[in-house]
Chains A and B, each alone.
Chain A
Amino acid sequence: MYVAVKGGEVAIQNSHALLAELRRGDPALPELSAAQIHAQLRLAVDRVMSEGSLYDPELAALALKQAAGDVVEAIFLLRAYRTTLPRFGYSVPIETTRMRLWRRISATFKDLPGGQILGPTYDYTQRLLDFALLAGTPVPPAPRAPAATTAGLCPGVLDLLDREGLIEPQPLSAADPEPIDLTREPMRFPAPRAARLQNLARADEGFLLALAYSSQRGYAHTHPFAGEVRFGSVEVEVIPEELGFPVSIGDVALTECQMINQFAGSARQPPQFTRGYGLAFGHSERKAMAMSLVDRALRAPELGEAIESPAQMEEFVLSHSDNLEASGFVQHLKLPHYVDFQSELELVRRMRAADTVQQSES
């Protein structure tokens, strides 16, 4: 419990001014623009959009600038801003099979229709610091290769396994139920997979990464293979209330991961592969991959697996995945707890005093 404190207005104002000055840094250097952040720190922008759960690169870049590069603070700013906007409705479900690809790889099939497209990746860099960037050397344009008009569009890798019946079918009921929306309703346990995925899509990347890693090291048995990772742009369609037909209103960048996992089978099902799914705004490969592993681990009850590890415990995972909530609760400890602490202090003193009396009496 904390009790309201008064005063400190001037100090707080001055703190704001100091914060602004330090954010700006050396005035002899040119100021960074949101457009520059958007263009040149695209992966930071993508992370802020992904965990801020709001796709707007300009706002995410602005948030990063305002937060002096603190990603979690920038996510907070973006989440706060979104609460000021009205909700127009829901999109038509996006079709990731129609993604215009920048990148698409599979670790399970060497030759696949559409090919392996490395795209812009750090995977094959040597992680040596590039001192040329200190000097600001101009970057030559990337090479091009002739592509068919539909080169960007290709079906998913898992369809190959699906056709042979070697992977669990994707359940799709004819009713196509409206999924729960965690921005409108609280999380309830046990949570349907759609609710878990919404939670994971906005979850902290570091938290998901650690859980995913734990599942690989033996805390939950996911036996994963990266069936497919793709990054590119997807059209967003809405059905405006005044028109009644779908209209494509723009493109968003997305990263999708289809994880393939071993499954020994059960009384009802023959041995087959199972699926874990990850989808995130922007170029967020680590996030999408970690998400797909955690998604699969959380499916333990559905697949009749024993729940023994943190990554499988949905209440543990989903209640602690949000970095805004986590950061808020951890950092609220900085707020004045003077009265609270005084009472604790008083209590400890009284206990010690009682102890001393007891000892002297015995």
Chain B
Amino acid sequence: MLQDDGIAAVLTAPSRQTWMRLLSRAPLQMLEAYLADLAGAQPRWLRRPESGLVMVQGRIGGNGERFNLGEVTVTRCALRTDPERVRCEHVGVAYVLGRSARHAELAATADALLQDPLSRARLPTDLLTRIAEGLAERQAAQDEKARATRVEFFTAARESVGEPTEPPPS
């Protein structure tokens, strides 16, 4: 899992897994702002955006044998970028939680462009950084608010501990 990737790692040499993870969590407005122009009016679809189900598996006791917990909605698509528009031809794939076809389309476009150094240059350089920062902010807010509720429970000790509670038998 990539949960602990720092922003610095994202900046230097992101792996495809790293950027796909980030793109799946990017707010749609941000993707629109960065990618709408590059996405093109008519993507060449290898698989049009479709929503479906993925069965989430858990493990018994957290680390034992697998069991099926329940399903999540997922939207996926695959497209080929237009070499006329972006001077490269790559297949972009997106799998994102939820039912937003547009989110999947924009994420797949970015996935295609990020695979080629030439086309990567056509992407706004701070796209992944901005997504990573936004995600880090949301996670920090959660961690810090949770942390403020951290509690130290004390076992209440009786004041008479170590002393006889009853008068000694005479």
Contact = CB atoms under 8 A, between A and B. Distances in A.
Contacts of A256: 62
Contact of B139 (A100, A201, A277): A100
A178 interface: yes
A250 B96 contact: yes
Contact of B53 (A88, A143, A198, A245): A88
Given A89-B55, A247-B20, A250-B25, A97 B63 contact: yes
A247 B54 CA distance: 13
B14 interface: no
A167 to B, nearest CB: 10
Contacts of B68: 90, 179-183, 194, 198
A49 B71 CA distance: 9
Given A88-B54, A144-B145, A258-B62, A54 B153 contact: no
A249 B148 contact: no
Given A56-B99, A118-B149, A94 B57 contact: yes
Interface stretch (A10-18, A234-242, A327-335): A234-242
Contacts of B73: 54-56, 59, 85
Contacts of B63: 97, 156, 170, 172
B61 interface: yes
Interface string B108-152: 000000000000000000000000000000011111111111111
Contacts of A153: 3-4
B2 interface: yes
Interface residues of A, number: 88
B6 to A, nearest CB: 8
A214 interface: no
A316 to B, nearest CB: 21
Given A55-B70, A179-B66, A147 B97 contact: no
Interface string A33-69: 0000000000000000110011110110000000000
A179 B97 CA distance: 23
Contact of B1 (A58, A194, A248): A248
22 contacts: A50-B70, A53-B70, A55-B56, A55-B71, A87-B53, A89-B54, A93-B57, A145-B144, A146-B144, A147-B144, A170-B60, A179-B57, A198-B69, A201-B70, A238-B74, A242-B93, A247-B24, A251-B25, A252-B97, A258-B62, A279-B58, A279-B69
Interface of B: 1-4, 17, 20-21, 24-25, 50-74, 76, 78, 91, 93, 95-99, 139-153, 155
Given A54-B53, A152-B142, 20 more contacts: A49-B70, A53-B71, A56-B73, A85-B53, A91-B56, A94-B59, A96-B62, A102-B142, A110-B153, A145-B144, A145-B147, A145-B148, A156-B63, A158-B62, A179-B57, A183-B55, A197-B60, A245-B17, A248-B17, A249-B21
